[in-house]
Amino acid sequence: MIPQNLLRNPLALTTQKCTLGCPILDRCLSGGVPCNSVTELVAESASGKTQLCLQLLLSAQLPASLGGLAASSLYIHSEFPFPSRRLHQLSQSFRSSYSHVLDSAYNPLDFVFVQGVQSADELFDVLLKTDSILLRPRTQLPVRLIVIDSIAALFRGEFENTPLDLKRRSSLFFKISGKLKSLAERFGLAVVVTNQVVDVMEQTEGLNVLRIGNLGSLYSSGRRVCAALGLAWANCVNSRLFLSRNEEIPAEVTGDSVGRLTRQRRLHVVFAPHLPESSCEFVISREGVFGIER
């Protein structure tokens, strides 16, 4: 890497960003998900990372004046089945919310391309073929958002904890992330990758749970967790966001009353070259994912 590249900030204020579909969430991220880089969403199951990704697929289609990319999206999934029913539900809400800018015959699902993969090698092969899709758009909206949901599912069961497998795994990390960054910079893409978490046990504390970013520790559902795939993968992404989930009993429940658990979800900035430490509470409804101001 030459000195000029070290001094260049790839996420300067002029970098275009893709709205998350909610002004409160966008404010937390200084405008949304940045182009020309790889953003990672880390969370345990049922925290909302796939929901947020599906909403992004739709938000990307909005014109730049509304925070979108005026673009189609490529959604690569490794966890089956693909949540087509939920995407359809969100698309109906999307059309209703933006009926003033969308044609009555407009179908948001026409601008979402879906590809399933079952191994890390297959993912890399798909990425190698992505150039042709980007160079020759299939619709009037070019692809400018790539979502991979999730990266962890492709690696956690495929490799043994042996020196040879760990070396091969690290090599694939850098090949995949290198290709994603190359595509992002060449075509001005926003790239989002989801990752899972693992529990942190006292006896396993070490390199994989070193403090990475703004937060000393990550907690979800009352457990201390860390991002899957370790330190090697953490070096492969430009920004990391963490979605936490916790259940609480409302304070007003007393006596023999049976309290209903309330689920609190929160978006945290773990590290990003263009963002300070920040967080935002959010909820998931039938209409989508929305931030809450308190």
Instruction: Dump pLDDT digits (tens) for 151-175.
Output: 998 987 777 778 888 888 889 999 9
Residue 280: pLDDT over 80: yes
Q: Are 77 and 149 in contact (CB under 8 A)?
A: yes
In angstroms, the Cα distances linking 264 to 27, 40, 104, 188, 261 are: 19, 21, 36, 34, 10
Could you give the 3-state DSSP secondary structure of residue 27?
helix
pLDDT value at residue 3: 42
pLDDT value at residue 227: 93
Pair of tokens at residue 70: 């005026």
pLDDT value at residue 1: 41
259 φ, ψ (degrees, to nearest 5): -85, 140
**What stretches of 188-249 show up as alpha helix (H) in DSSP?**
230-234
> What is the mean pLDDT of the segment spanning 194-215?
71
Mean pLDDT lowest for which of 106-115, 211-220, 253-262? Answer: 253-262
pLDDT value at residue 209: 53
290 φ, ψ (degrees, to nearest 5): -135, 135
Mean pLDDT of the chain: 88
Taking alpha carbons only, the member of 291, 234, 287 closest to residue 98 is 287
